[in-house]
Chains A and B, each alone.
Chain A
């Protein structure tokens, strides 16, 4: 139980294009989903928290117009990196939680912007 999937697992795109990453909780309904970013050999950096049906709460320093988050259902959240640039290249990981319980993480999406 408590399986979270992400798609795609990796993506390469040209600078200026937009990339959408999907996060799904496969066997439970997640009231809250989280999006993290992780640079090599560093810990997870929380980008935003989203609750189903409401606007995401972004952490300080994270541009909400650049990183669009949609949490339309209890099993799906999407992160769209708009007009991606090389500095946006990173490992993006989502997690899902039921109420205030443990977060279960997806396998991550590696983004490379050329």
Chain B
């Protein structure tokens, strides 16, 4: 069964304190792994797509990496405006459907 697990559920960081969010997945053939950011009361905002193990993508203070079993979203020197819920989703190569994790709620304290 295709499954996505994110950890931790919640993370509080001091401003400037780097950390990583984890997304573990099991899928019968990975087409893509996606990271989104969601602010309260808004739709998810697309961040990255990763397609194969070893792939890395960066955007400002965020860097996403992918292995055959998990993905990490590294946050370097976070700022309060990085506070949000970060969602991970995987798409199997057997269909269109995305399988979402439950998200990591990140709070960055000034």
User: Contact residues of A with B, CB < 8 Å?
Assistant: 2, 4, 6, 32, 34, 42-44, 46, 49, 91, 93, 95, 97, 100, 102-108, 110
* Candidate in B32, B34, B41, B45 with the most chain A CB atoms within 10 angstroms: B41
Given contacts A6-B43, A44-B44, A49-B97, 11 further A-B contacts (CB under 8 A): A4-B43, A34-B96, A34-B98, A42-B102, A43-B87, A43-B100, A43-B103, A100-B31, A100-B96, A103-B34, A108-B41
Interface of B: prevailing SS: strand
Residues of B within 8 A of A42 (CB): 102
A102 to B44, CA, bound (A): 12
Contact B98 A103 (CB under 8 A): yes
**Residue of A49, A100, A103 most packed against chain B (CB within 10 A):** A103
Please, how many residues of chain B have a CB less than 8 angstroms from a CB on the other chain?
21
| Residues on the B chain within 8 Å of A6, using CB | 43
For residue B36, give the distance in angstroms from its CB to the closest CB of chain A. 7
Q: A104-B46, A105-B36 in contact; A44/B41 too (CB < 8 A)? A: no
Cβ of B49 < 8 Å from any Cβ of A?
A: yes
Indicate if the CB atoms of A105 and B96 lie closer than 8 Å.
Answer: no
Q: Which residue of A lies closest to B102 (CB)?
A: A43
A93-B44 Cα distance, complex, nearest whole Å: 9
